[in-house]
Chain A
């Protein structure tokens, strides 16, 4: 009684084993893209970066595996090891905690797995990203033109909402915006430039923003720049609470809060990077050539990147015509590869 079922089970197991092995063999023939999303709770574009990469990998007929770095260096390092175990053929990452990048680079290099990094460069990784300095300068110049028209380049304060945790990116973006303002209004005295730490988050920037405004009670004409829209909005909201919003003009970076029907009227503009759509550039210029057996030379320098993403400065009026992020992602997925969001949505091409 028992022999037949046992034999049947053994046969079935053998068959499954054979099928499993052959399945693995087939899977190993397919190119496998690994994606390490940033996992910082600050920004919905970090999750969307994975969604776009997944969709494009599907279009290419590749396997896809995604992990989150949880904005934590140790997790990012562990994820790199998992990618090796998973047999990824190439990896894309956004790592907002770049202290782990050298170790990640070493692990993946030892396994002969090329890696693309977004926006924060590492010598061992293909760099795909925005020219943060150019984006900062472009935004600053736009705000400078408003200041020139409205205040004859004579503001009482130019306030920077810093995000020191982002390191050089903060210096490029926020410092770049100050440079852009100086390009248009070169004679603003240095003492009129003040900064506070807003951490790139509107809610976090609110209290230090209020304190800074309280410490400058006589300032009437205030321009605000920052590492991103959130940081700038923190100061604008603080000014609203202190009854001084009409004295503030802000220009952000990243375009996170300049679209939709809930835009603060004192945010005069922002600079779109279309961060969620970076995978188009990474796959077009790095990953697909690797999959096709024509790996491009390693370009790891932000000054000479493997793929450069064009910043798109927009006024609030222009941004009102740009769809919000979920709609942009939906339209990007319908467009033929390698159409970029810059192609689809930037009004100032």
Chain B
């Protein structure tokens, strides 16, 4: 093992048997809850178990899943949450729209949106690092400022109908939406990188104990910058998927995704206080949360009721997060 001494001392050390079991229990609980929702809805309405349902859920998962990766990186590094994701995704989506309107190749559209997200993340990091402000307050403020500024720039935008990015939002691959596969890939790869690379372990270490990490020579500033920029990059990529699928959007169009993303991160067991979490669990939490609104419609409940369920699930998730922190804390 080539784990450097700094990390060895600051990364939450070799997980005890109880902790490992808790990791499995999170996965099993999520899987059981998801299967329960599927089974109950399938029993109530047999046509729930159809390809149309799979498509509907997979489309919902795509954008939320990638945003949850960005949110998870902020959380696990101890930045708590990034409340500026709605403004960042709209800014990056607007960049994607403008680049595709200019007729630029799809790869340029993707790079442009990701870069826009990374610049946004760098801006957040700069304020957090140099003004020494709480990241939650900073991102709340930049979200307000960003949305207001975006409103001054545009009121409605959509990718050109028939463009490559527009086609991506309607294409399927192996029976699932084309925009679902990048989400799957990102969660798998990031989950691997966070566990198996020095950067991933440093990020987790800083979240676990800033003081210990600092004492061992890990630069908090650098980590903060890299973390926010990486998270912004993922939001930028989510923006490509969002712009591809959404049709016309306006500066407020992504505001409703925030609760779902935060709930997905907490349910996955990624601690918002930092230092703990497994990104692969996002597949289960995002899948579970994306299934609920679809199931509600099959039960004949109004789509408006999903906000109630989202709120309740978020409360349960926060309570679980607190419980986990107390169990594993000092």
Using a CB–CB cutoff of 8 Å, the interface residues on chain A facing chain B are: 40-44, 46-47, 164, 196-197, 201-204, 206-208, 210-215, 217-218, 230, 233-234, 236-237, 240-243, 256-257, 262-264
Contacts and interface: CB of A to CB of B under 8 A. Distances in A.
Given A197-B304, A241-B170, A210 B56 contact: yes
Contact of A230 (B150, B248, B296): B248
Given A203-B253, A214-B55, A44 B155 contact: yes
A262 B53 contact: no
B199 to A, nearest CB: 34
10 contacts: A40-B252, A44-B154, A196-B297, A196-B302, A196-B303, A203-B247, A204-B256, A211-B297, A212-B303, A217-B47
A263 B160 CA distance: 9
Nearest to A239: B170
Contact of A262 (B47, B59, B147, B158): B158
Contacts of B138: none
Given A204-B253, A262-B158, 4 more contacts: A197-B304, A203-B249, A203-B250, A214-B50
B294 A214 contact: yes
A211 B299 CA distance: 11
B160 A262 contact: yes
Given A203-B253, A262-B160, A241 B303 contact: no
| Top 9 closest pairs, chain A to chain B, by CB | A44-B155, A208-B303, A203-B253, A214-B56, A203-B246, A237-B247, A210-B56, A203-B249, A211-B297
B161 interface: yes
Given A211-B56, A264-B161, A42 B298 contact: no
Contacts of A202: 158, 246-249, 253
Of the four ranges (under 10, 10 to 19, 20 to 34, 35 or more), the interface on chain B belongs to: 35 or more
Given A203-B254, A215-B297, A242 B56 contact: yes
Contacts of A204: 253, 256
B245 A237 contact: yes
A201 B294 CA distance: 19
B42 to A, nearest CB: 13
A43 B252 CA distance: 10
Contacts of A208: 293, 297, 303, 306
B177 interface: yes
B249 A213 contact: no
B50 A217 contact: yes
Contacts of A212: 297, 303
Nearest to A240: B170
A259 to B, nearest CB: 12
B162 to A, nearest CB: 9
Interface in B201-225: none
B52 A213 contact: yes
Interface string B15-47: 000000000000000000000000000000101
B96 to A, nearest CB: 14
B52 A242 contact: yes
B293 A211 contact: yes
A237 B245 CA distance: 8
A237 B161 CA distance: 11
A77 B154 CA distance: 26
Contacts of A46: 155
A43 B298 CA distance: 32
Interface string B285-298: 00000000110111
Contacts of A44: 154-156
Interface string B164-193: 000001101000010000000000000000
B19 to A, nearest CB: 36
A99 B45 CA distance: 41
Contacts of B60: 207, 210
B323 interface: no
B309 interface: no
Contacts of B161: 262-264
Given A164-B304, A217-B52, A241-B245, A210 B252 contact: no
Contacts of B59: 207, 210, 241
B297 A203 contact: no
Nearest to A257: B248
